[in-house]
Amino acid sequence: MKHLKSRSQDLRSLFENNITIEYVAEPLKAVSAEAEVIQVLQWMQARDFDVVGVELGDTITGYVERASLLKATSGKTCNDYQRVFHPRELIAISTPLMKLLPILQQTPRLFVLDCNQVTGIITCGDLQKAPARMLLFGLVTLLEMNLLRLVRLYYADDTWQKVLKPERLQVAQRLWRESQERNEATDLLDYLQFCDKRELVLNQPELLEQLGLKSKRFGERFLKSAEQLRNRLAHAQNLVSGSSWIELISLAEAMETLLIRCEEIE
């Protein structure tokens, strides 16, 4: 049976050519530059907005932050508190979703440019949306597929069965038998779980070196984090439960790097 390889380049191509930040951005709410600050602050607090655009005519020319309005005095307008968009805060609506992650690692908020007009806003929280989840799930799925490919490559003639813990082998055998009863079974290796593939790959010192993993313990911690992310994605859970957005983005980048190293091993 031929086992096809899916490449990280294919995933990157899919997201670069078809899925842009347009699919995760939110429209930027805006108020008039002449609007009274006290009223705008109350409006923002009622809607839990941290930032809103400031509009002059039909153009959003800047923004105000809720935190900066807390000490505002009566009679002041949004124009008095307006901040001008800095180039580092702007991102084109056509930017591929793949390129968004490292940018968000540097700044927690970006304003979206569409035809030289600011129309939207993106924060780390928008990574909870389906397109970003699809990207992350694609990365971790390709990584798991490549771990299995390396197990096939490095364990000839079912030698992996002697390495895997007996209870884990029994789980795979039970799943395999259940599939046999439904006439769906392929081979036993296909019924290993993520933790099994991790254990088998990390048991090969040569693979640790080729994959750039500092040690077996380091590799175990890293791949456990990847598995936990996979589980949160699969169950539609909060992506940063128990961690942070910076840690999540760093994990995604590290997964892509490891995936590329996996694919280089023949």
- Residuewise pLDDT in 10s, the chain (266 residues): 444 445 667 777 777 778 899 999 999 999 999 999 999 999 999 999 999 999 998 899 999 999 999 988 888 999 999 999 999 999 999 999 888 988 998 888 999 999 989 999 999 999 999 999 999 998 999 899 999 999 999 998 889 999 999 999 999 999 999 888 887 767 899 999 999 999 999 999 999 999 999 999 999 999 999 999 999 999 999 999 888 999 999 999 999 999 999 989 98
User: How far, in Å, CA of 169 to CA of 166, rounded?
Assistant: 5
Nearest partner of 12 among 98, 71, 76, 89, judged by Cα:
98
Residue 94, judged by CB atoms within 10 A of its CB (0-12, 13-18, 19+), counts as exposed
- DSSP string over 14-47: HHHHH-BGGGT-EE--EEETTSBHHHHHHHHHHH
User: How far, in Å, CA of 225 to CA of 241, rounded?
Assistant: 12
Rg of the chain (C-alpha set): 24
- The pair of structure tokens assigned to 200 is 């088998």
Q: Which helix (H) or strand (E) holds 217?
A: helix 216-234
Q: Are 24 and 129 contacting, i.e. CB atoms less than 8 angstroms apart?
A: yes
pTM: 0.84
